[in-house]
Structure 1
Amino acid sequence: MSKLLKFALGVDRISEQFGHLAAFGVLAAAVISAGNAFIRYGFDISSNGWLEIQWYLFAATVMLGAPLVLKLNEHVRVDLFYGKLKHNAPVYVDLFGLVVFLLPVMGMLAWLSFPLFLKMLVTNEMSSNAGGLIRWPAMLLLPLGFAWMFLQGLSEIIKRVAYLQGKFEMDTHYEKPVQ
């Protein structure tokens, strides 16, 4: 289990780095949006490229930030019953959801989105809007984000199994190995 925990914690560290990129993406999108509005309304100049880069940054925010949200256990869940569960029951519910729902869906979405990314990369597909951007960088975020979410799901499974074995301490916001 030690090597698996090291793998899980490595995935966690990379998810944290992706989370920093996602946070930068939010800031950059806000600055670009404000600057674009100022230039459009102040000087009557507009560019589809600036609008599209905002969409790309939003995609980066979602696709790169979602694994960190899962790691931090801040993802959306129906808490009607979950919050009332005692002892290890929430861990078992998490394991069920991760194994039965998250991993299969993220694996399938990564698998299905990769050929679309490759097609856009090979053909160098451009936006149909005047002044639009190439599309493959935004499309790369799909297989990358889904695959990383899959890996973060594996990390969460490993940590929860280790927790059940008494080899890992878990808290809803902070996780660390047992010393």
Structure 2
Amino acid sequence: MGKLLALSRGIDAVTAFIGRRVAWLILVAVLVSAVNASIRKAFDMSSNAWLELQWYLYGTVFLLAAAYTLQKNEHVRIDFISNMLTKKTRDWIDLLGHIFFLLPFAGLILYLSIPWFLKSYHSGEISGSAGGLVLWPAKIMVVIGFGLLLAQAFSEIIKRIGVIRGHIDEPYAGHDSPPAVDEAASGYAKGERP
């Protein structure tokens, strides 16, 4: 388990490095948007390339930060239901969800996106909009993003197994805090009434 946990730490380090840096692209996208709007208002001219650059930047942030979001345990949950479950149950749901849903989904998208990107790259595909950009840089972000997400899914599986087996402490702040149901159950065990 020690080698797997070391692999998980390595994946986490790469994910965190990329996630922290790619977040700055939001600022770049905002600046591009502001410049584009200013030029459009001041000189009554614009370019589809500026608009496409904005969605390239936003898409890159979304795709490359998905793994970082998963690593930080910030993905969407149904808290109402999750908070009614014990920590052990939540750990098992996370583990099985990563194995049976996230891994196949990320793997399938990665598998399908590689030839999609290669075809675009080799053909020199460009946007259908007048003055549009080359498309392969946006398409390679899908490949890279789902590759990172797949690697991070493996890291999360390793960590969750480590937590379940007691090899490591809970890596997420708040994930191990007892939900209201656990607190109520412990009160009943002591003979207290709510």
Matches of 1:118 and 1:50 in 2, distance apart? 24
Secondary structure of the 2:87 match is: coil
- After superposition, give the CA deviation of every residue in 1:2-47 in whole Å (9 maximum; x if it has no partner): 1111111111111112212331111111111011101111121211
Matches of 1:88 and 1:174 in 2, distance apart? 14
**What amino acid does structure 2 have at the position aligned with 1:154?**
F
Counterpart for residue 29 of structure 2: 29
* Contact 1:163/1:170, CA 8 A, preserved across alignment: yes
Equivalent pairs, count: 175
* Contact 1:22/1:62, CA 8 A, preserved across alignment: no
**What amino acid does structure 2 have at the position aligned with 1:36?**
N
TM-score, length-normalised on structure 2? Answer: 0.86
Secondary structure of the 2:73 match is: coil
Counterpart for residue 114 of structure 1: 114
> Which of structure 1's runs of 4+ aligned residues deviate more than 6 A?
none
CA drift of 1:147 comes to 1.6
Over aligned residues, Cα RMSD in angstroms? 1.5
Matches of 1:52 and 1:37 in 2, distance apart? 14
For the pair 1:8 / 2:8, whether they are aligned, the reply is yes
Counterpart for residue 152 of structure 2: 152
**What amino acid does structure 1 have at the position aligned with 2:16?**
E
Secondary structure of the 1:132 match is: coil
- After superposition, give the CA deviation of every residue in 1:141-162 in whole Å (9 maximum; x if it has no partner): 1111112111101100000111
Matches of 1:34 and 1:26 in 2, distance apart? 12
**What amino acid does structure 2 have at the position aligned with 1:135?**
L
Work out which of the two has the higher radius of gyration on C-alpha atoms and give 1 or 2.
2
Counterpart for residue 138 of structure 2: 138
Q: 1:38 to 1:173 in 2, by over 3 A?
A: farther
Counterpart for residue 59 of structure 2: 59
CA drift of 1:171 comes to 4.2
TM-score, length-normalised on structure 1? Answer: 0.93
Matches of 2:164 and 2:20 in 1, distance apart? 30
**What amino acid does structure 1 have at the position aligned with 2:131?**
G
Matches of 2:13 and 2:56 in 1, distance apart? 24
- After superposition, give the CA deviation of every residue in 1:132-177 in whole Å (9 maximum; x if it has no partner): 11110000011111121111011000001111222211243499xx
**What amino acid does structure 2 have at the position aligned with 1:121?**
Y
- After superposition, give the CA deviation of every residue in 1:30-66 in whole Å (9 maximum; x if it has no partner): 1110111011111212111111110100110110011
CA drift of 1:80 comes to 2.8
Matches of 2:66 and 2:40 in 1, distance apart? 32
Matches of 2:16 and 2:116 in 1, distance apart? 27
Matches of 2:151 and 2:25 in 1, distance apart? 22
* Contact 1:64/1:145, CA 8 A, preserved across alignment: yes
Which blocks of at least 5 consecutive residues in structure 2 are unaligned? 176-194
Secondary structure of the 2:132 match is: coil
